[in-house]
Amino acid sequence: MSHEYHKKPEAISRLSPEQYRVTQEAGTEPSFDNAYWDNKEPGIYVDIVSGEPLFASVNKYDSGTGWPTFTMPIEPKNVVEVRDSSLGVIRTEVRSAHGDSHLGHVFDDGPAETGGLRYCMNSAAFRFIRRDDLEHEGYGEYRKLFEHPDGGAKR
């Protein structure tokens, strides 16, 4: 199934002030005080502006930072990495490719066994789609991420 994702003006007009500040002005939400830092439900995280699929709970881990953190995106073509020196140090900003939303930053201090990356993201940039709602929400092709080879479900 092919989707066209883009920055949707109507979605931007519905953003909360915090969601707007984070996604459109490259802000950062407070650690440990955001919607998904401790979410353990199975599902995927999509851009709140464009709907493009970005991350999945199967790649989420507790980094101790207080933000949702992932080892990798589910669709690498949907994330763009940009050099960021806004705080006087060089970091790598992560933006959605089609919605151009600021998502967070990626660092090279993640778990070595999964590639060593730590995608430290802002909950305000996401809409969470629960595993059981993937079909209904138009993301059914991602259901396979949550199935064990033996047919059972996984986180």
Residue 70 lies in a domain: yes
Residue 139 lies in a domain: no
Residue 138 lies in a domain: no
Instruction: Report, as residue numbers or ranges, the catalytic residues.
Output: 120
Q: Which residues contact 116 (CB under 8 A, 6 or more apart)?
A: 108, 109, 110
Residue 68 lies in a domain: yes
DSSP H helices in the chain: 9-13, 17-25
Per residue in 57-66, pLDDT (tens digit) is 999 999 999 9
pTM of the prediction? 0.92
Instruction: Return the structure tokens found at 75.
Output: 């669709």
CATH number (domain holding residue 58): 2.170.150.20
Q: In Å, how far from its chain's centre is CA 67?
A: 11
Instruction: Return the structure tokens found at 43.
Output: 């599902």
Residue 2 lies in a domain: no
In this structure, what are the phi and psi dihedrals at residue 142, rounded to the nearest 5 degrees?
-90, -5
Residue 1 lies in a domain: no
Residue 54 lies in a domain: yes
- Other CB atoms within 10 A of residue 17 CB: 8
Per residue in 111-133, pLDDT (tens digit) is 999 999 999 999 999 999 999 99
**Domains held by the chain: number:** 1
The whole domain housing 104 covers 9-133
Residue 50 lies in a domain: yes
Q: How far apart are CA 89 and CA 63, in angstroms?
A: 21
